[in-house]
Structure 1
């Protein structure tokens, strides 16, 4: 739902009632993971997508029904070999979809409106919604901020509210969306509840060191992938807005000095394109010791060997050096700056999701590697822990529509 927060927030400002369908879990080759959403208002206007078209028609009808009767429902969609006209995923995957009415009289509306407004402003927030559990709790929600404060709740159950807020806060810290199971009393005891936690966090940072032609192309690709992109170089003649019009930030400073003072996190990617030892060595000595997602450095294999030797002399350990992606990028046979930027971006994406970086043709590797997609297990589609691993718990035995 939060992936279409800007549009839904406009709907709220216009006083529209709507129903929102959100992917709770996905398995197999389902095209989109948890958090993907489709919303329909009372005029029949639709925004968002769940599956690239496979089940949109059936979900659209569920949203219309939810607007009429006010019920929150959970449906499973999957591929059906028996009925070619069933509402199934032609890719062969399975998705569970939660449909929630958001009308003026619905108690969940103020909570979801708060989450949508926060996400639309680009601020961090997580919203937790009951997916499976007692009827009186179905559709209830709670919004959590980074400082641990929360709004909403689950019908006068303060212990449950506190537990969900803490669990959702962990998801928010990791920037993850997925499901969790807890007891209805806010502990591991009692009837189980399944909740969907959606996180909305600011864009991840990409810091490109080296104001070179390859950097210009990488800035464009990084922006396209949704990063907040910074270009940093110590040479003012090259580090200009005219050369990097699409960058979010231009910094004229020695790279290692800037990296020492700027905030980074576990989603930050660092791309070192200077291939000049006086810049690279002090920068990489620092970068390889930071808790960032990716550190890559441009240069030939000979440059890499020389750079690695200099880093060892500077005290960088073998374990730290093993984090360095150098020469940077995947082997695409890239020549031009644009092709090289694509190679680097492909490696960043593969690193993020655990992809092998090989051709899918003739391979037997999964198409989707992101843990948030919920690996399919025997007996049902599993949820995900905040660290990205599966919970291993069966999700629900709810109604199926076009399922396997």
Structure 2
């Protein structure tokens, strides 16, 4: 929903009702992930997408209906071999979409949630999708406060606890509860949509390859930092895609900055006096990915130095070196694609093999 937030905030501030459609569930090769959103506002203006074009027409009509009725609607679009186009989703997957009306009366906390998302402050929005609680009811959960209600204190308490757990992971998905928050799966279904700050990408080494990696990292939604100890190379002009450019010794900067399970660390320094002390710190920190550039000879020398520095086999096994997938990349931009491909493959447990050489679902569950 981040990409359509400016339009939603504009409509809300003007007091204009709008219909908000959100993907709350998917299966098989669904075109969009849970959390993808589309909205229909004043004068039938449409922003966003829930399926990449497959079912937008039907969702547009649903949004108009819910704005008239004031009642949320939950609809599933899927694929049928007998009548694919009548069902709407021809990619072979299935999506479940919640369409709900948003007004100042029905959603008094929307502006605060939108402000948090825009400012990068973490918040999870819990929305009832099905069950005896009112479909479309929302509860906004921050690390330190809660706004709204799903209908009763027991349900609010159970959802708040789960929402904070999902927020810590930046996770989004459906949860099931008893009518008063019991841990059952036979009553109320709630969609937890986490808006955590973007994950970080830390790029060390202000070289041409780093500029390309920073650009693709920004494109993938990372908050990018480029760090190098050489001020003549580490300049914002050379790295317009980076959120920040830091002049500092890489190991010292990493030792003083926060990382978590979503952080990506790319070591492109290509110099033992920089990358060995840096990797000593990195391999002992929380991170989703740690990759280091260099030839196989450089890698062997680096590993020997890291062993001498006292790193364990378990710590060394976290290192992706030489960095990237084997794409035959040559240019900085091609190498950046190789690195990005490895990051994505590791995140989603992809094989890195051509899809023509694989079988089964293209987008496996989980």
Task: Say which of 137, 142, 145 aligns to 1:140.
Answer: 137
With CA pairs under 8 Å and 6+ residues apart, which has the higher RCO, 1 or 2? 1
Contact 1:112 1:127 survives alignment (8 Å): no
TM-score (norm 1): 0.87
Deviation at 1:6, TM superposition (A): 2.8
Alpha-carbon distance in 1 for matches of 2:269, 2:76? 50
User: Does residue 45 of the first structure (1) align with residue 20 of the second (2)?
Assistant: no
TM-score (norm 2): 0.96
- Aligned partner of residue 258 in structure 2, secondary structure: coil
Deviation at 1:2, TM superposition (A): 5.0
Mark the CA change 1:120 to 1:10 in structure 2 (over 3 Å): closer, same or farther.
Answer: farther
Contact 2:12 2:104 survives alignment (8 Å): no
Deviation at 1:191, TM superposition (A): 5.0
Task: Say which of 286, 303, 312 aligns to 1:308.
Answer: 303
Contact 1:209 1:255 survives alignment (8 Å): yes
| Structure 2 residue aligned with 1:218 | 213
| Structure 2 residue aligned with 1:384 | none
Contact 1:114 1:143 survives alignment (8 Å): no
Task: Say which of 341, 344, 353 aligns to 1:346.
Answer: 341
Contact 1:73 1:99 survives alignment (8 Å): yes
Deviation at 1:84, TM superposition (A): 4.5
| Structure 1 residue aligned with 2:54 | 54
| Structure 2 residue aligned with 1:170 | 165
1:87-236 equivalences in 2 (<5 Å):
87-106=87-106, 109-134=107-132, 136-147=133-144, 149-155=145-151, 157-188=152-183, 191-236=186-231
How big is each residue's C-alpha offset from its partner over 1:19-46, in whole Å with a ceiling of 9 and x where there is no partner?
A: 1111111011111111111111242111
| 4+ long deviations beyond 4 Å | none
Alpha-carbon distance in 2 for matches of 1:60, 1:221? 33
Contact 2:15 2:103 survives alignment (8 Å): no
Over the aligned positions, Cα root-mean-square deviation in angstroms equals 1.6
Contact 2:176 2:184 survives alignment (8 Å): no
| Structure 2 residue aligned with 1:75 | 75
Contact 1:3 1:35 survives alignment (8 Å): no
How big is each residue's C-alpha offset from its partner over 1:158-192, in whole Å with a ceiling of 9 and x where there is no partner?
A: 12211111111111111011011111111225952
Alpha-carbon distance in 1 for matches of 2:286, 2:83? 50
Instruction: Name the one with the larger helix percent.
Output: 2
| Structure 2 residue aligned with 1:25 | 25
Alpha-carbon distance in 1 for matches of 2:228, 2:200? 17
